[in-house]
Chains A and B, each alone.
Chain A
Amino acid sequence: MNLLHILSLARKEFLALMRDKRSRIIIIVPPIIQLFIFGFAATYDLNDVPVAVYNEDSGGASRELLARIEGSPHFSILHRIDSDAEIAPLIDERKVLLVIRLGQRFSADLQRGDPAPLQLVIDGRNSNTAMTALNYLRGVVLDFNREWQREHGLTGPPVKLEMRAWYNENLQSRWFIVPGIIGSLILVVTLLVTALSVAREREQGTFDQLLVTPLRPVEILIGKAIPGIVIGLLEATLIIVLMVWFFEVPLRGSIPALYLGILLFLIATVGVGLMISSIAVTQQQAILGAFLFIVPAVILSGFTTPIANMPEVVQWLTYLDPLRYFLVIVRGVTLEGDGFALLFHQFWPMAIIGAATLAMAGWLFRHRMY
């Protein structure tokens, strides 16, 4: 292996990427803009859920309960209605997510010690939003109950839950999602940079010229892999800095372990990219191949929905997804404070994926001629 060969090919690859101003921009600017937009957008937490209230009760208790709901940052009461007929249009047209109905005898029942029903109608079109909103409301109602029982000398339930969340103490969605965005953005950029590198030369006919130079396939492989890895490393660093400074996600674990993870993830991604690139005959096929890999890789990585909820067959498929392992590493290092030992089982599968795909790409360089 000749280092000079590799470096000069890598240099040529960098020039091919960076020479054109537009492709320079497309590699650098969109990931950063996307980090900001998605970082703010992607959250399961709900604020100001639009609520309509149908209160038939004139007592003080219903007013107190409604004041608590209004006071919560999660809900805002937008409509007050006074007939059942108004419920359906509000929900159907998505003007409100939730309608709260308090019957005529709400306060009276409460005073007498009878259970007072709080009737709710909720839009289940997005079942997760509906469930989250109901959970928030349950919290408000439990607080109200506890206070009511204390003020009226009633005994509460004999058993109390004391819940505590580890690692993400306030259960902020953002702490979970932003580290995931890093993985997805790096995946997209690196894969695009590498997936087109061989296909473009194939389409333009310069790859044959490259093959007849003294460069050996291994050297071509490494030379083609270097730009993706370097760009990925720089971009990852930039995004991590922004994540910690701007989104205030903690960085509790070992930074060297994080960087080992990034490096292995990049090698695996570059391997997949080069493999797609050497299978493809045209750039269009390469882009399609990259697409067909990126989309499932992101959606099945555990980025937004847990892998544990998937059927077993799909869970097996996720073992082929380098992003799956990388997300455990990023979240482990940022939130859980992990070091090398706990992350070992995430490192080696990425190394295997990288080695297998790179070997495949190198073999295809020589053997896919047409």
Chain B
Amino acid sequence: MSARLRRLWGMIRKESLQILRDPSSISIAFIMPVILLLLFGYGVSLDAKNIPLGIVVEQPDTATQSLAGAFDRSEFFRPQRFGAIQEAQQALAERRIDGILWLRNDFSSRLLSGNEAPIGVFVNGVDSNQANITKGYIQGTWLAWLQHFAAAQGRDLDLPVAMEQRVWFNPALNSRLFLVPGLIAIIMTMIGSLLTAMVVAREWERGTMEALMVTPLHMGEMLAGKLIPYFALGMGGMLLSVAMALVLFGVPLLSPFWLLMLCSALFMLVSLAIGLLISIVTRNQFLAGQVALVVSFLPSFLLSGFLFDLHSMPEWVQTITYLVPARYFVAILQTLFLAGPVWPVVLANAGAMLLMLAVLSALVVKKSYKRLD
């Protein structure tokens, strides 16, 4: 073994021992992804079911019963009857129900006399996304009932233009299928940058950096020696997450496994480089931890396109999202899992990550020198 390799190996061995002896690093790499993915995979869902809906029928008869029955049977609603609209509105104000369906007492007479019969619908709009979904379900149930009602009267309900939609990649519009790959990206961002953010800062703070400086170890060897064990840890966590996504959450993987792992390795390197840069610049665990938290968690949660559509953000925010590495990884993961290896998407995003890695490495090398000051 050459001297260079021996020095590198020594550094790797020291870091690995440190990891093994402080259980907190191992728990970040292995326990954190499991717990987080379990919690989030089951917990984060945009699919509304059993929406508590208040139904007010002022005059029960055949028409109103059949309409209310359509809502009773829907899997999306958990209807509750109220005798008067005031009671239902009180319940809406107290957040006991999310919406109200109000059939006034002239509903059936207007319907039978050929006048347009209005249904009053109120939804709690605070959570606008859920309110929109609720409105969509109410519309759907209403349309289905209309068709049924028209058929019962022996005529067709003619809608001039009818939408026929085909949803690709996720025909059941199951939100878990896109949220789980996105969550993997977020969890890996945090793990990667947290793992390394503390390690160099700790050496400075404890004064062991000076001890390392007097050794023949080169700066590059030291950095590599620190990165390699953490890279192995991070990739272990990644494998675990992918296995859970496939087995537990039933997310399909429509691309070759090696491609997924290659992209993940690239992303892991970017995350580790960010963590390393933070710890080199701050030289202080308190600051390093704070900066790592600030730059990793919320940006990757909100600016990566994991949940919120990037395209709809204002231009200047879209420009900022190009600096968030999770943005590229989320795009790759959602495509690799759900759509297959679409090369233009994979190459463009992997290229961007490669560029980030190059810039970050250059910064790391520039900022790290063996000097006391």
Q: Which residues of A does B touch, CB under 8 Å?
A: 22-23, 26, 30, 34, 37-38, 40-50, 65, 91-94, 97, 110, 113, 115-132, 134-135, 137-138, 141, 144-145, 148-149, 154-169, 171-173, 175-176, 184, 188, 192, 196, 200, 282-285, 287-288, 290-292, 294-296, 298-300, 304-306, 308-311, 313-314, 317, 328, 331, 335-336, 342
Partner of A167, one of B125, B167, B313, B345: B125
Q: Are B146 and A159 in contact (CB under 8 A)?
A: yes
Contacting residues, chain B, for A49 (C-beta < 8 A): 311-312
Contact of A40 among B27, B150, B305, B317 (CB under 8 A): B317
Contact between A283 and B285, CB atoms less than 8 A apart: yes
Asked whether B126 lies within 8 Å of A176 as measured between CB atoms, the reply is yes
Which residues of B (157-208) have their CB < 8 Å from a CB of A?
Answer: 157-171, 173-175, 177-178, 190, 194, 198, 202
**For residue A65, which residue of chain B has the nearest CB?**
B161
A70 CA / B48 CA spacing, docked (Å): 30
Instruction: For B117, list chain A residues within 8 Å (CB).
Output: 158-160
Interface members, chain B 81-105 (any A CB < 8 Å): 92-95
**Known contacts being A168-B128, A283-B286, A311-B43, is A125 close to B335, with CB within 8 Å?**
yes
Residue of B nearest to A204 (CB): B205
Instruction: State whether A169 touches B125 (Cβ < 8 A).
Output: yes
Evaluate contact between A131 and B286: CB separation under 8 angstroms: no
Query: How many A-B Cβ pairs are below 8 Å?
Result: 338
Selected contact of B132 from candidates A126, A171, A196, CB within 8 Å: A171
Residues in B with CB closer than 8 Å to A164 are 120-123
B139 interfacial contact with A, CB 8 Å: yes
Task: Using A300-B39, A317-B39 as known contacts, say yes or no to A127 and B178 having CB atoms under 8 A apart.
Answer: yes
A282 neighbours in B (Cβ, 8 Å):
22, 24
Q: Which of A30, A126, A167 contacts B178 (CB 8 A)?
A: A126
Q: Do A305 and B46 touch (CB < 8 A)?
A: yes
B residues within 8 A CB of A291? 190, 194, 293, 297
Known A-B contacts A113-B158, A116-B161, A167-B125; the reply to A126 vs B285 at CB < 8 A is no
Q: Is the CB of A48 within 8 A of B131?
A: no
CB of A130 within 8 A of CB of B167, answer: yes
User: CA A97 – CA B123 in complex, angstroms?
Assistant: 28
Q: A161-B121, A169-B125 are in contact. Are A40 and B313 (CB under 8 A)?
A: yes
CB atoms of B126 and A336 under 8 A apart? yes
Q: Which of B213-221, B262-270, B336-344 contacts A (4 or more CB under 8 A)?
A: B336-344
Chain B 251-298 interface residues, beta-carbon cutoff 8 Å to A: 282, 284-287, 289-294, 297-298
Cβ-based interface call for B119 (8 A): yes
How many residues on B have C-beta within 8 angstroms of the other chain's C-beta atoms? 113
Contact across chains for A37 and B178 when beta carbons are under 8 A apart: no
Whether B345 and A93, one on each chain, are in contact in the complex, defined by CB atoms closer than 8 angstroms, is yes
**A305 with B331: CB separation less than 8 A:** no
Is B48's CB under 8 angstroms from A309's CB? Answer: yes
Check if A26 sits within 8 Å of B158, measured CB to CB.
no
Report the separation of the CA atoms of residues A192 and B287 in the bound assembly, to the nearest whole angstrom.
Answer: 10
Given contacts A93-B342, A176-B129, 19 further A-B contacts (CB under 8 A): A22-B287, A44-B128, A93-B345, A120-B163, A125-B178, A130-B170, A135-B132, A141-B163, A160-B117, A160-B119, A162-B120, A163-B121, A166-B125, A290-B289, A295-B297, A296-B39, A304-B307, A306-B46, A342-B93
B136 within 8 Å of A by Cβ? yes
- CB pair B127–A306 under 8 Å, yes or no, is yes
The distance in angstroms between the C-alpha atoms of A294 and B290, with both chains bound, is: 12
In contact, A128 and B43 (Cβ under 8 angstroms): no
Residues of B near any A CB (own CB < 8 A): 22, 24, 27-28, 32, 35-36, 39-40, 42-51, 67, 92-95, 111, 114, 116-133, 135-136, 138-139, 142, 146, 149-150, 157-171, 173-175, 177-178, 190, 194, 198, 202, 282, 284-287, 289-294, 297-298, 301-303, 305, 307-309, 311-314, 316-317, 320-321, 331, 334-335, 338-340, 342, 344-345
Are B92 and A166 in contact, CB atoms less than 8 angstroms apart? yes
Chain A residues within 8 Å of B317, by CB: 37, 40-41
Assess whether A161 is in contact with B119, with CB atoms less than 8 Å apart: yes
Q: Are A175 and B308 in contact (CB under 8 A)?
A: no
CA distance A139 to B280 in the complex (A): 54
A155 cross-chain contacts in B, Cβ below 8 A: 114
Q: Within 8 Å CB of A125, what residues of B?
A: 169-170, 178, 334-335, 338-339
**Docked complex Cα distance between A287 and B287 (Å):** 10
Say yes or no: B286 contacts A196, CB within 8 Å.
yes
Q: Given A30-B294, A48-B312, A127-B177 in contact, is the A122-B168 Cβ separation under 8 Å?
A: yes
CA gap between A172 and B128 in the complex, in Å? 6
Cβ of B40 to closest chain A Cβ, rounded Å = 6
